[in-house]
Amino acid sequence: MRHLMSPLDLSVEELDKILDLANDIEAHPEKYAHACAGKKLATLFYEPSTRTRLSFEAAMLNLGGSVLGFSSADSSSATKGESVADTIRMISCYADIAAMRHPKEGAPMVAAAKSGIPVINAGDGGHQHPTQTLTDLLTIRSLKGRLSGLTIGLCGDLKFGRTVHSLINALVRYEGIRFVLISPEELRLPDYIREDVLERNHVPYTEVVRLEEALPTLDLLYMTRVQKERFFNEEDYVRMKDFYILDKKKMKLAGPDMLILHPLPRVNEISVEVDDDPRAVYFKQAQYGVYVRMALILTLLEVKVC
Ligand code: CP
């Protein structure tokens, strides 16, 4: 039985297979319509979500399976003091696979240690979000045709943004990747990622504060929102929240093929006027999230479709 806690739980070969499977699902959805008949997915969300929870549920329904779960800690027995370890023991009796989001870093790993079914980390605090990374990799590979030889700008809250942390971990394993880290001083990428991941893997990177400076150099811009829920005081959040706003004027500085990705939700960091730009692919990215979660469920449940 396998769990998914971090993108590094999958080798590059395994990742490629999941992305290939996701592309096949996109091309031939009917082949997979009954692949998980009789199987159940539990979504255990102790923190709010729109995309991750609903795309997991859509993925299992598209595979002919069923879903159950809760969408906030308030509607579970966590409010009565039940531990994550006890909860997953129960869920192991009710479902075949579980996706868990939790505000505490490492909570899905605690669950996995006590689980009788595969557990997928659907986002743990400011730590990791591996299925968002699978979504991002599928989007990049499908629309750029490769995962190597790219200059990638990561912009916004690089301190608390778990999607950025997971994406860096995954991309450093590909050839010719170069990062431009675009953030205010207070929201810089944590040392444990800059030193232990980028520098240890000899991945070139630069750090800049101004988005305008980076835009002309990028193959891809990955925007993120400032993570309000991880700030200790409202004042700091208010000061930081509109630090970056990508608008039509700034997009004139970018190359004609520079894709804009965003894990969403978007707050103010991408103006809605950018949505019609063909380089803006963040809504398409959310659609890829369904295909890749279907591929992941099939892989972890070891379901083969001929
Ligand atoms: N990208 C992402 O994790 O979105 P949600 O918080 O809506 O699930």
User: What pTM value is reported for the model?
Assistant: 0.95
Q: What is the pLDDT of residue 151?
A: 98
Nearest protein CA to atom 6 of ligand 1, as residue: 49
259-302 pLDDT, tens digit per residue, is 999 999 999 999 999 999 999 999 999 999 999 999 999 999 99
Predicted confidence band at 235 (pLDDT cuts at 50, 70, 90)? confident
Helix (H) or strand (E) holding 286: helix 282-300
Per-residue pLDDT at 232 exceeds 80: no
Q: What is the pLDDT of residue 237?
A: 81
Q: What is the pLDDT of residue 167?
A: 96
**Sequence-ordered strand ranges (E) for 71-167:** 97-102, 119-124, 151-155
Q: Is 230 annotated as a binding residue?
A: no
Distance between Cα 59 and ligand 1 center (Å): 15
- Mean local confidence (pLDDT), 242-246: 94
Cα 10 from Cα 167, distance rounded (Å): 13
- 264 close to ligand 1 (CB < 6 Angstrom): yes
CB 275 within 8 A of CB 253: no
114-161 pLDDT, tens digit per residue, is 999 999 999 999 899 999 999 999 999 999 999 999 999 999 999 988
Residues 6+ apart with CB under 8 A from 79: 73
Q: What is the pLDDT of residue 120?
A: 98
Average pLDDT of the chain? 96
Predicted confidence band at 306 (pLDDT cuts at 50, 70, 90)? confident
Catalytic member of 3, 40, 51, 141 = 51
Residues 6+ apart with CB under 8 A from 11: none
- Mean local confidence (pLDDT), 218-238: 87
- 128 close to ligand 1 (CB < 6 Angstrom): no
Distance between Cα 48 and ligand 1 center (Å): 8
- 51 close to ligand 1 (CB < 6 Angstrom): yes
100 strand-pairing partners: 44, 121
